[in-house]
């Protein structure tokens, strides 16, 4: 079986070496030394101003919305994982969907502008597949209308725009460190902000709002992460360059072997290098996609319709909205297998099967 993804697992002995320290200290959570060390190392690795290690990427988004005191409407993309939208609803705000750009699959700044009303408080945009949004245009729109900006960077670990971490854009950026991501801590997430006062508020919020053993500074939540997850993050960080290089090699092999495929790749941001988080292709028709999925499945190969269906017209708790580009793209996009252990021979097999479908 070739799955669509598989978590990178470091040498067990290296992970166990961290666990021995955890057993000795008997400090399992509440921001122990490993979690604190991981925060510092990730801050240095990513080159960001301030960073918090939290429970997961969804909690990170919820905390961002709460910390910015957002109310009313938040403009967002329907072409993203469900958490991007559900966290808005969970925090008693109203998601307003803007259509996506046909070339890069990110939220379209022109569509954002059209969606703004007197109830709009923020923009929550996703760097889809790690591909940066048009951060400069979004920043200009936000300043013009006095809006906050949150970036869902679940896929964007290590991505830079013009040499600066993509997480440095917006008021708050978040990242997922879930096991399926190119860099992970098993379960985990990051919150990044340039504002030291906002960071202080978020740090209180992460630990129930505690400001000392018997005092509270903020309304809080349990957003902390454990030493066991931090240990995984610390070990995996040592291998991030090797992980990136292998995923790059696999992606370039796909590029080479799929030149004749009746599909296109999303256009990557011109001032950014890829992090190879995913390998999405947009087929020329949904019919060809479905035949391809069936062919791969028949050969025990997984592929994922990521993101399908569009969130704009399928959620039972929201009124449906028709968005032409999102509706079209979501039916035709497919993510192919991409993970550290995938061999080039397996990539070649996947490519042969896909080309065989369209040539029959």
Give the DSSP per-residue string, 89-125: HHTT-EEEE--B-TTT-SBPHHHHHHH--TTEEEEEE
pLDDT of amino acid 28: 97
Among 202, 237, 272, residue at a domain's last position? 237
Are both 205 and 281 inside the same structural domain?
A: no
In the structure, what pLDDT confidence band is assigned to residue 359 with cuts at 50, 70 and 90?
confident
- Which sign, positive or negative, has the C-alpha torsion 198, 199, 202, 207? negative
Task: Check if the beta carbon of residue 251 is closer than 8 Å to that of residue 347.
Answer: no
Per cent of the chain over pLDDT 70 is: 100
pTM as predicted? 0.97
Q: Please report the pLDDT score of residue 360 as a whole number.
A: 76
Contacts of 176 (CB under 8 A, 6+ apart): 56, 57, 60, 154, 155, 188, 189
Is residue 6 one of the residues assigned to a domain?
Answer: no
> How many angstroms separate the CA atoms of 285 and 160, rounded?
32
Q: What is the pLDDT of residues 252-300, one digit of tens each?
A: 999 999 999 999 999 999 999 999 999 999 999 999 999 999 999 999 9
Whether pLDDT at 200 is above 90: yes
Helix (H) or strand (E) holding 49: none
CA–CA gap between residue 249 and residue 300 (Å, rounded): 23
Residue 5 within a domain? no
Query: Do residues 226 and 249 share a domain?
Result: no
CATH number at residue 164: 3.40.640.10
Question: Both 216 and 351 in a single domain?
Answer: no
* CB-based contact 264:58 (threshold 8 Å): no
First-to-last C-alpha distance (Å) of the chain:
24
DSSP string, 241-259: HHHHHHHHHHHHHHHHHTT
Contact criterion met (CB below 8 Å) for 237 and 141: no
Going by pLDDT thresholds of 50, 70 and 90, the confidence category of residue 358 is: confident
Cβ(91)–Cβ(85) below 8 Å: no
Q: Which domain holds residue 307?
A: 240-359
Question: CB-side exposure of 330: number of CA atoms within 13 Å?
Answer: 22
pLDDT in tens, 8-55: 999 999 999 999 999 999 999 999 999 999 999 999 999 999 999 999
Give the strand order in the sheet containing 50-54: 50-54, 189-193, 172-176, 148-152, 120-126, 73-76, 94-97
Average of per-residue pLDDT values in the chain: 97
CA distance 90 to 148: 18
Angle subtended by helix axes 33-46 and 227-237, to nearest 10? 40
Same domain, 142 and 22: yes
Say yes or no: 213 and 113 in one domain. yes
pLDDT for residue 261: 97
Q: What is the mean pLDDT of residues 144-148?
A: 98
């Amino acid at each position: 079986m070739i799955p669509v993804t598989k978590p990178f697992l470091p040498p067990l002995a290296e992970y166990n070496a961290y666990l021995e320290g955890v057993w000795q200290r008997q400090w399992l959570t509440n921001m122990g030394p490993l979690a604190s060390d991981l925060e510092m190392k990730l801050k240095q690795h990513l080159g960001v101003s301030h960073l918090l290690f939290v429970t997961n990427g969804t909690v990170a988004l919820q905390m961002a919305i709460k910390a910015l005191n957002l109310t009313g409407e938040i403009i967002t993309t329907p072409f993203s994982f469900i958490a991007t939208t559900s966290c808005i609803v969970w925090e008693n705000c109203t998601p307003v969907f803007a259509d996506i750009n046909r070339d890069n699959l990110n939220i379209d700044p022109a569509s954002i502008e059209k969606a703004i009303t007197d109830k709009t408080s923020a923009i929550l945009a996703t760097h889809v597949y790690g591909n940066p949004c048009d951060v400069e245009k979004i920043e200009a729109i936000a300043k013009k209308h006095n809006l906050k900006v949150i970036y869902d960077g679940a896929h964007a670990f290590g991505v830079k725009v013009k040499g600066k971490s993509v997480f440095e854009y917006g008021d708050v950026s978040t990242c997922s460190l879930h096991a399926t991501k190119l860099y992970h801590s098993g379960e985990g997430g990051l919150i990044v902000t340039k504002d030291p006062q906002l960071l202080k508020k978020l740090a209180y919020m992460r630990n129930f709002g505690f400001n000392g053993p018997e005092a509270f500074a903020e309304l809080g939540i349990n957003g902390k992460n454990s030493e066991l997850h931090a240990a995984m993050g610390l070990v995996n960080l040592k291998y991030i360059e090797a992980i990136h290089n292998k995923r790059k090699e696999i992606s370039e092999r796909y590029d080479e072997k799929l030149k004749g495929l009746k599909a296109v790749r999303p256009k990557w941001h011109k001032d950014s290098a890829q992090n190879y988080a995913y390998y999405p292709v947009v087929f020329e028709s949904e019919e060809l996609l479905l035949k391809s999925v069936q062919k791969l499945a028949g050969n025990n190969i997984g592929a994922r319709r990521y993101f399908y269906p569009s969130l704009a017209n399928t959620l039972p708790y929201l009124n449906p909205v028709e968005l032409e580009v999102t509706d079209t793209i979501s039916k035709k996009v497919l993510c192919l297998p991409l993970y550290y252990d995938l061999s080039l021979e397996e990539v070649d097999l996947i490519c042969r099967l896909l080309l065989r479908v369209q040539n029959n």
